[in-house]
Amino acid sequence: MNIRFIDSPPQEGEFNMSCDYTLAVQAKPGDDALLRIYTWLEPTISIGFHQKAEDIDYILCEKDGISVVRRPTGGRAILHWGEITYCFIAAMQVGGGQKALGEIYRKAHTAIHNALRMHGLNVNFAAGKKIIRKQSPLCFATSVGTELEYEGKKVVGSAQRLLKSTVLQHGSILISPEHLKLPDYLNVSEELRQRLREKLELSSTHLPLRDDKSFRITMGKSFANIFEGKVYRTDLTSDENIQIGKDRPRFIINEFNSSV
């Protein structure tokens, strides 16, 4: 499977979510897989497709300059601040089901694992861990067997969704501790906020990694190796940019259309 690689500049949250969604929706059977690496123009909280919007304290977010968007994928809230974000899009094979989705998830995390290892970081899979997922608005508060850890704590959080016959998977690679501030912006009691802070600090950490061209190139090569193809770099096309602009309002939290 060949990999189309897009190395994106920092963008606003609505653009990033619209871009991932648009590229996935436009993918056709037989297209090459796509890997996009990007960052965020400003600190942004993204909430999962089915997550309650009321989980977030919007007044405090606005006061502190934190944007809020909804992801086209499921999962819990993430504070995108001091991270490298990836998006991987691939066509599902005919007859593929949950097992095929799980295999794509595992392979994508294996590619990230190998790329981080090539940059000298001793990351490992959270093998053998069985986590009971209690109700929590935080993504990085839980870890399962296919997740990546550094020094025993989670450093990569991913979400996945099947859109017709295309898999959209995107996730965060933590490279600074700002993600720990997420509980400050949740609409919860102070007692629960403190418990969430403690849980987040115990379960997640960040990598001593710089977001530079070298690592992004390594990511592209690693995905191509795991998916047994070649990698080639492109930019977004003019048609893609036009459609991204049209889809962008879907991901503004107040205007979100649940049919996305």
Q: Any idea which residues carry the catalytic annotation?
A: 139
Asked if 155 and 205 touch (Cβ cutoff 8 Å), the reply is yes
CB 47 within 8 A of CB 13: no
Q: Yes or no: say if 78 and 204 are a contact pair by the CB < 8 Å rule.
A: no
Question: Could you give the 3-state DSSP secondary structure of residue 138?
Answer: strand
Residue 192 backbone zone (phi > 0: left; psi -120 to 50: alpha; other: beta): alpha
**Which of 70, 92, 72, 69 is closest to 22 using CA atoms?**
72
Tell me the C-alpha distance between 161 and 144, whole Å. Answer: 18
> CA 10 to CA 81: how far, in whole Å?
12
* Furthest-apart CA atoms within the chain: distance in Å: 51
Instruction: Report helix, strand or coil for 182.
Output: helix
Place of tokens 């025993």: 152
Q: Are 74 and 211 in contact (CB under 8 A)?
A: no
